[in-house]
Structure 1
């Protein structure tokens, strides 16, 4: 018995059922801003009723687009970046875009290869957390790539792109001000390369807090070279070999926080008892520490949504822009005090 061939639902069928023009269906499906809410509801209802699925291959051949975005990150193992990527992909899907996730492993050579791969795939744009902000090679790669670009926490002078930046200085200043108020003057700071926006911005908040408190910064406690767990562990071990080791440490990122915690365990130091830790970026598993550690938080879900929004704007031909997201100091001592206070309250 021969199987009955099911006719493919066409965009014309959607337009007919919705009672609108084909061009209106196209605008709804592409996420165009000029579409009214009423129009959007009518078209989406028809799409769902008919089970319509756009033929992206045919659209690509006609328009020279692929409805695909490249998402390039330094470290795919970092849960912070994974959350950003997940949020970004979910937002892109709403506009019928798919996403190619590609890892640079923190090296410029791999990043260069990744740009070539994404270009060969003819992606419509790229969202990138670049390895370097000063390399001429990176700038050249972006220029040769030639597609709309959104940078994550990176600033590249002379490169036309949109960007999602975090105001690291805001949260770091509050964290350091708190530490200084608690009597910590020898505060160590372990983070990535000092010529990158993230580190420069964090250092700005660090210095500002010391200046406001009229306290002296100890340069030997500042270690700025790499975001990796390995580097942070090595530097933490070195810090505790100093005649006067730090009483508090800021760790620049989830990898750095992990490295510092491993080092402290190795030398028998207990976080929050022997040395105070403030992690710059949160990781859910930090809550399992006893006692837990404080952190400076930036919202990865929000970063992902904004990155998707900006890349779609560029694809539509809108002007590049930068979005600045605030960071927040999460003080575990205050959180614990609030929790204990709430425990004593009766509920009715």
Structure 2
């Protein structure tokens, strides 16, 4: 071994070994060393042997993750939820990770924060990493060309919680319209006619379906829709507090409130109590989505429950089937919801 090479080896062992170090020790270019180590392109037999021997002497390990990503060999699945801070999506992410890990796949989570442009950028970035498949909760039911491109691009794709019209791929959702209708039916059966709705952005598939359930129930019971009873809020506790206070500060306030997700339900609870309004004596409350605090409040909160423990595992199974090369017919699964009656609804007080 030439003295210069021996000195080079001694020096690099004192620090992290790089591709440049291996190339210098083997007396080749970095490009040649990269081809020899990563088994792509042509490298002569004797040159390849020198590179491999130099890498072995130096203890070079390389960036295995980068190599695997570049060659599409790392078993990564991308999950793009609406907002990972939402307990619903946090639970879905947990269940996806558990199921995928059983099949030696890893989950990479990137939240769109309900922003379509951010969702597009995230999907482009993830595709550049050779992600093997995607599970997505689309931020919009209408602006979805980028979702359609995934579906037709031979990229395994499962939509979760939210379907997209005319996009042909597997999906796992619940009967949002039916669940919302059952909630409002229950309020009407308990004598309520002025029922407020606290909902989120109308671009979102679930918001559209839950609004439809609210409207359909009122129509079926012969109750005219009062648009002033419909409040729009971002799906956060803070925004729901503000929207609820605005709604119930009016002189002819509603006797009941239906909220379309658990964060809004929590915000409504805080707002009503801050206003000195008692649940259910002053205001009856039903929320879509069960949540831990719903059974720790007094009274406990009546909710429309989703089978959340089944949604994530099933979405993972559908994607793993596609990744395994199976080509069954497209599967669109829609779970029923369940009204869980607790103590937050009473007949309205007579004025």
| Normalised-by-shorter TM-score class | 0.7 to 0.9
- Alpha-carbon distance in structure 2 between the residues aligned to 1:191 and 1:171: 14
Q: Structure 1 residues 180, 158: CA separation in 2 closer, same or farther (over 3 Å shift)?
A: closer
The residue number in structure 1 matching 2:334 is 324
The residue number in structure 2 matching 1:296 is 304
Normalized against structure 1, the TM-score is what?
Answer: 0.72
- Alpha-carbon distance in structure 2 between the residues aligned to 1:183 and 1:196: 31
Q: Structure 1 residues 313, 238: CA separation in 2 closer, same or farther (over 3 Å shift)?
A: same
- Alpha-carbon distance in structure 2 between the residues aligned to 1:61 and 1:252: 40
- Alpha-carbon distance in structure 2 between the residues aligned to 1:305 and 1:241: 43
Describe the SS at the equivalent of 1:272.
coil
Within 5 A, what are the aligned runs for 1:247-326? Answer: 247-315=255-323, 316-318=325-327, 319-326=329-336
2:241 is aligned with 1:233: yes
- Alpha-carbon distance in structure 2 between the residues aligned to 1:145 and 1:303: 25
- Alpha-carbon distance in structure 2 between the residues aligned to 1:142 and 1:131: 15
Shift of the alpha carbon at 1:117? 3.0
Describe the SS at the equivalent of 2:110.
strand
2:95 is aligned with 1:95: no
The residue number in structure 2 matching 1:221 is 229
Give the aligned length. Answer: 280
2:132 is aligned with 1:124: yes
The residue number in structure 1 matching 2:88 is 80
Shift of the alpha carbon at 1:158? 3.6
Gaps of 5+ in 1: 1-55, 336-348
Q: Structure 1 residues 262, 58: CA separation in 2 closer, same or farther (over 3 Å shift)?
A: closer
Report Cα offsets for 1:201-222 as digits up to 9, x if no partner: 2123223322332233322111
Q: Structure 1 residues 141, 274: CA separation in 2 closer, same or farther (over 3 Å shift)?
A: farther
Normalized against structure 2, the TM-score is what?
Answer: 0.72
- Alpha-carbon distance in structure 1 between the residues aligned to 2:144 and 2:109: 24
- Alpha-carbon distance in structure 2 between the residues aligned to 1:170 and 1:158: 22
Given that 2:72 and 2:132 are in contact with CA atoms closer than 8 Å, whether structure 1 keeps it comes out as no
The residue number in structure 2 matching 1:190 is 198
- Alpha-carbon distance in structure 1 between the residues aligned to 2:151 and 2:333: 22
Q: Structure 1 residues 285, 133: CA separation in 2 closer, same or farther (over 3 Å shift)?
A: same
The residue number in structure 2 matching 1:159 is 167
Given that 1:112 and 1:141 are in contact with CA atoms closer than 8 Å, whether structure 2 keeps it comes out as no
The residue number in structure 1 matching 2:120 is 112
- Alpha-carbon distance in structure 1 between the residues aligned to 2:332 and 2:229: 33
Shift of the alpha carbon at 1:121? 2.4
Q: Structure 1 residues 141, 244: CA separation in 2 closer, same or farther (over 3 Å shift)?
A: farther
- Alpha-carbon distance in structure 1 between the residues aligned to 2:319 and 2:151: 16
Q: Structure 1 residues 123, 226: CA separation in 2 closer, same or farther (over 3 Å shift)?
A: same
| 2:212 alignment partner, one of 204, 210, 217 | 204
Given that 1:108 and 1:138 are in contact with CA atoms closer than 8 Å, whether structure 2 keeps it comes out as no
Given that 1:119 and 1:145 are in contact with CA atoms closer than 8 Å, whether structure 2 keeps it comes out as no
Larger Cα Rg: Structure 1 or Structure 2? Answer: 2
Shift of the alpha carbon at 1:66? 2.6
- Alpha-carbon distance in structure 2 between the residues aligned to 1:333 and 1:103: 35
Given that 2:232 and 2:243 are in contact with CA atoms closer than 8 Å, whether structure 1 keeps it comes out as no
